[in-house]
Amino acid sequence: MTWRTLLTGSAMACCVAMTSPALSKALVVRSAGPSAKTYPPGKALPDSAKISLKPGDSVTVLGPNATKTLRGPGTFPASSSSAEGLAMAAARRTRFGAMRSGDLALNPSPWNLDISQSGTICIAKGSPLKMWRPSSEDAAKLSITPASGKATMVNWAAGKSTIDWPAALPISEGVDYQLALKDGPSPESVRFSLMPAIPSDAVDTAEALIQRGCQNQLDVLVAELGDGE
């Protein structure tokens, strides 16, 4: 889908909005406490919904603009319209990827494969994949070994935090891949969940990541959007 198509669709949506109210939803992305079963991650709520929390509850909700964390007790609107918008979140990506003294860098995009974490990785079918490492000062050698397959070696240049997934190694859904840095910590294991396409809406994206078990990417998305608590 091109930006021209998106803009055309937006114009049509504006015309419809003149005769009917716009509908939006909020999505629970994290929850803890007595009400966690009532508001599990992945639970969709109308943007106009009220969230009732007990003492000790903590619920993070992602809306059309950003995330916010609600803490009980109390009753709160699900809407996050007063929080920071997606445009501001996108502008913060450089900050998230930068190194600070004494800190490891944070993954600047939920669509990067973080080689320091195991888990399921969601990617769009046929889309290129970039691998990311938290520490990029030194050159490194990375081996990628699929289950019942041979290892593929990747040379990672000093100063580079991202590198392309090797074109010679096909990405297969449901296959475990072991990622190991030479002289590095214990290997990580990842498997892929192939999506037809990446949703353009943040709430739909989070919903897809939760449904497919791509927790690491969900954490990056939530951090990228910021918290308006």
Query: What would the pLDDT profile of 34-66 be if each residue is shown by its tens digit?
Result: 999 999 999 999 988 999 999 999 999 998 768
Mean pLDDT, all residues of the chain = 82
Domain containing 213 equals 100-225
Length of the chain: 229
Residue 51: inside a domain, yes or no?
A: no
Residue 3: inside a domain, yes or no?
A: no
Tell me the pLDDT tens digit for each residue of 191-202.
999 999 999 889
Residue 61: inside a domain, yes or no?
A: no
pTM, two decimals, is 0.77
- The count of domains in the chain is 1
Tell me the pLDDT tens digit for each residue of 6-26.
333 433 333 333 333 345 789
Residue 33: inside a domain, yes or no?
A: no
Residue 93: inside a domain, yes or no?
A: no
pLDDT of residue 104: 61
Residue 122: inside a domain, yes or no?
A: yes
Task: Return the CATH number at 148.
Answer: 2.60.40
Whole-number percent of the chain with pLDDT over 70: 77
